[in-house]
Amino acid sequence: MRRARWGYCAIETVTRSRSKGGWLGAPVALAIALLAAGCAPRTPDVQRVTTAEVYFEPIDAGDVRRPAIAMPQASGWQRVTLPYAESRRDVLGVPGTAASQHVRLWVRLPPQIAPTEALQPLAVHYSAYMGPIVAANVYLDGERVGGIDPDVSSNWNRPTMFLLPPQATRVGHPVQVVLAFNCVVGALPCGAPSVHVGPQREIERLYEWQRLLRIDGPRIGSIAMLMLGGFALLFWFGRRREVVYPLFALASLIWALRTLHYHLAFYPGSYDWFWWMTVNSMSWLMVVVYVFAFRLHDERHRYIERGLLALAVGWSIASMPGLGLNGWTPGYLTHVVQTAIGIAVTVLISISSLRSGSREHLLLAVGLWICIGLGIHDMLLQGWYIGFERAFLMPYGAMFLFAAFLYAIVRRYAAAIAEVEHVNASLEQRLTQRQAELAVSYEKLRLIERQQAETAERQRLMREMHDGLGSSLMSTLVMVEQGSFAQADVAQALRECVDDLKLTIDSLEPIGDDLLTLLATLRYRVGSRLEAAGIKLEWRVTDLPPLPWLNPTSSLHVLRILQESLTNIVKHADAKTIRIETAADNDSVVVRVTDDGRGFDVACMPGGATGQGGGRGLLNLRRRSAQIGGQIDITSSARGTVVELRLPRQQADDLEIDKNV
């Protein structure tokens, strides 16, 4: 009894749109025509029956689902135009019907003659929102030949087709087709739609088209949206902070639930709960649309949100089956509530779109206004104010709304990607910039280091010239000018200058960290001179570990220490043999210079008072070896002298061996 009140959208059928037009159906009809992709039926042989005779028969409530046992008597039929609607008052005005809430409306079509060329059975079809019709049956020449299944829940929305038995449709033989609708007389009038009669194949095409429009279209739409919602939900799992994706999923789910009553043949679960859900879901959807629209721009109007939610949830609870507010009256109130919510949401989003210029809000507002328009259409259809042969259009209006949803989501997604790309690009740019800066600063640093190295080397050479070669040459020059030097002495002095210069050159040779090669260089220089002095050199070297700290400066120190030792031996020791040995242990390497000369008293030569002049002496040796982190030990006896230079294998970093050569 209640079911007819819930579906509340309508459109006129395509077959009637031509005659009636439609003040708001035109764009929608166009959209649906596009949707149906040229399926509009061409039915040359189909006859639309618009005149008939009707008869009202009061029936018992218990018979409302059953077909008539017999056709009514011949008198009392009245001639009408189809579609035909009789108000409740008029129905009740029919004699004998006053006491009954249930009537059977008999509709006798004019005699039908199958076209001569028709070699296929005749069929009958009508599509209309029949309101509280419980059952419909078709009779051929007074005999029942078919009826709709009264148990199919969504019969209220289904197009109907009856096939007439083939033997009854002989060519040229007129047949009498009678339809009988069992009605519940309530707020709605009682009526009969126009009927199409024609060859089965043509009628089937008509029927399929109506079925697509009324049943399959809404079903396909809701499934498609449900899948998009599922996709949004999956996307949300990856980006939990984006609340608009689950909102979209929720909206699609609510819409899928809402659409069930259009196409489901059998409603699941409790009948009352199913309709409770179907009706209230519209309010839920509107609340979700509202929240979605404003979260989209990270806006939040708490009080409006809460108010809408409270209204929707409150009414949903109040209208639960078994809570008293059940029945027809709250049913209408439910419509009032959801209409109020829907209009409020639409107006709020429209205002926002006008204020902020948000394209998403604009599209949502347009979708909502379309829905409201179609909703009005459906409500009028539901009340039979605009006839009852149109289809309900709300499912198509929702498609506009969801298109706006999708647009918003895709735009947001694209914006997010664009932002990521932008961030990446700017990161890359900053990286490049940073690299360039680093390269520049590295280059500067390198330049500074090189300059420092050059400066250090220049200073070293300057010191070298000043303290070493320069002062030696200068003192020699002074002595030569004073005439106090014998020629041999001058030669000797100059030779020492050259020797010192050679040491410096040798210290610059690329010997790496190899102390042994450095010693070898020294021997290569002085070997022949020792030989000339009649001194035998015993070369007892062993392989030495590399000394990483050995650079030109420290090499020169080593060379000078050893050369000075050798010079001392040649000058003072009167030795026959010099033995040069090397050794290494875990921490240090040792170079030992042993002679068999006459030796001296080490204790008598403290500090720099070596008595040998020219800054040469033990103190000098000690100072030099200290500068390279080494240690020098001199032991001397009548049988000879041992000079032992002990050098560390690793240098402490803070030892500044570059200075004070």
Partner 1 sequence: MLLSMAAIGVLLVEDDVKFRRAFAARIEAAPDMTLLAAVGTVAAGLAELENRTPNVLLVDLDLPDRRGTELIRYCAAKCPTVDVMVVTVFGDEKNVIESIESGATGYLLKDSGPEHFVEQIRLLHAGGSPISPSIARQLLARFRGAPRVPDAESDRLEASSVSSVPALSEREHSVLTLVTKGFTFPEIAELLDVSQHTVMTYVKRIYRKLRVSSKTEAVYEARKMGILRD
Find the helix or strand (DSSP H, E) in which 250 lies: helix 244-263
The first and second tokens of residue 198, run together, are 């024609």
Spatial separation of the C-alpha atoms in residues 113 and 133, rounded to whole Å: 29
442 touches partner 1 by CB under 8 A: no
Comparing CA positions, the residue from 396, 344, 365, 237 lying closest to residue 296 is: 365
Segment lying near partner 1 (by CB under 8 A), choices 55-63, 336-344, 502-510, 616-624: 502-510
The candidate with the shortest Cα–Cα distance to 68, out of 95, 99, 127, 108, is 108
The answer to whether 512 contacts partner 1 (rule: CB under 8 A) is yes
Rounded to a whole number of angstroms, the minimum distance from the CB of residue 542 to partner 1 is: 9
Shortest Å, Cβ 447 to partner 1: 26
* DSSP track, 81-135: ESSEEE-HHHHHHSTT-TT-SEEEEEEEPPPEE--TT--S-EEEEE----SSEEE
Residue with Cβ nearer partner 1 (385 or 524): 524
For 410, other C-beta atoms within 10 Å of its C-beta total 10
Q: What are phi and psi of 318, to 5 degrees?
A: -65, -30
CB of 521 to partner 1, least distance (A): 5
Q: Tell whether residue 511 is a contact of partner 1 (CB under 8 A).
A: yes
**Strand, coil or helix: what is 374?**
helix
523 binds partner 1 (CB under 8 A): yes
Q: Is 469 in the site for partner 1 (CB under 8 A)?
A: no
Checking DSSP bridges between strand 190-192 and strand 133-140, what pairing results, if any? unpaired
Nearer to partner 1, 517 or 620 (CB): 517
Q: What is the DSSP letter of 571?
A: I
Instruction: Considering the complex, state which of residue 543 and residue 653 has its C-beta at the smaller distance from partner 1.
Output: 543
Instruction: Select 145 or 537, whichever has its Cβ closest to partner 1.
Output: 537
Residue number with CB closer to partner 1 (4 or 544)? 544
Of 61 and 498, CB closest to partner 1: 498
DSSP 579: E
Is 570 a binding residue for partner 1 by CB under 8 A? The answer is no
Q: Which is nearer to partner 1, 252 or 504 (CB)?
A: 504
Q: How many residues bind partner 1 (CB under 8 A)?
A: 25
Q: Which amino acid is it at 10?
A: A
- Give yes or no for residue 519 binding partner 1 (CB under 8 A): yes
Residues 187, 498, 533, 609: which binds partner 1 (CB under 8 A)?
498
Closest CA to 297 of 356, 255, 253: 356
CA–CA distance, 2 with 131 (Å, rounded to integer): 9
Closest to partner 1 by CB, 15 vs 553, is: 553
Cα angle 325-331-337, degrees, rounded to a multiple of 5: 95
- Quick one: 429 or 492, whose CB is closer to partner 1? 492
Token pair, residue 406, equals 């999708």
Residue whose CB is less far from partner 1, 128 or 547:
547
Q: Shortest approach of partner 1 to residue 595 CB, angstroms?
A: 18
* Per CB under 8 A, 516 contacts partner 1: yes
With binding defined as CB under 8 A, does residue 332 bind partner 1? no
- The sign one gets for the Cα dihedral 619, 624, 628, 633 is negative
Please say which residue, 3 or 560, places its beta carbon nearer to partner 1.
560
224, 372, 520, 590: residue in contact with partner 1 (rule CB under 8 A)? 520
Residues 156-185 that bind partner 1 (CB under 8 A): none
Asked if 502 interacts with partner 1 (CB under 8 A), we say yes
Q: Per CB under 8 A, which region of 36-44, 128-136, 310-318, 498-506 contacts partner 1?
A: 498-506
Q: What is the DSSP letter of 165?
A: P
State whether the Cα torsion 555-557-560-562 is positive or negative. negative
Of 272, 443, 509, 585, the one binding partner 1 by CB under 8 A? 509
Residue with tokens 């690329």: 510
Decide if residue 622 touches partner 1 (CB under 8 A): no
In the three-class reduction of DSSP (H, G, I as helix; E, B as strand; rest coil), residue 607 is classed as: coil
Task: Report which DSSP code applies to 52.
Answer: E
Query: Which of 514, 581, 644, 658 forms a contact with partner 1 (CB under 8 A)?
Result: 514
Residue appearing with tokens 């609870």: 317
Q: 344: which 2 tokens? A: 């409020």
In three-state secondary structure terms, 161 is: strand
Task: Take residue 647 and report the two structure tokens written for it.
Answer: 């050098």
Choose the binding region for partner 1 from 60-68, 163-171, 514-522, 653-661 (rule: CB under 8 A). Answer: 514-522
* Measured CA distances, 306 to 291, 309, 598 (Å): 10, 5, 113
Binding window for partner 1 (CB under 8 A); candidates: 12-20, 110-118, 303-311, 499-507: 499-507
Q: Compute the least distance from the CB of residue 500 to partner 1, in Å.
A: 12
Q: Which stretch binds partner 1 (CB under 8 A): 348-356, 428-436, 508-516, 606-614?
A: 508-516
| Residue partners of 519: CB distance under 8 A and separation at least 6 | 541, 562, 580, 582, 591
Among 271, 385, 442, 524, binds partner 1 (CB under 8 A): 524
Between 529 and 572, CB nearer to partner 1: 529
Alpha carbons 581 and 646: distance in angstroms, whole number: 12
- Interface segment toward partner 1; rule CB under 8 A; list 224-232, 457-465, 519-527, 604-612: 519-527
Q: Which stretch binds partner 1 (CB under 8 A): 150-158, 207-215, 349-357, 516-524?
A: 516-524
Which residues on adjacent β-strands are paired with residue 184? 102
302-318 helix and 271-295 helix, angle to the nearest 10 degrees = 180
What residues from 526 to 565 belong to the interface with partner 1 (CB under 8 A)? 527-528, 539, 541, 543
Among positions 510, 534, 607, 613, the unique one binding partner 1 when judged by CB under 8 A: 510
Smallest gap from residue 517 Cβ to partner 1 (A) = 5
Residues at the interface with partner 1 (CB under 8 A): 495, 498, 501-502, 505-506, 508-512, 514, 516-517, 519-524, 527-528, 539, 541, 543
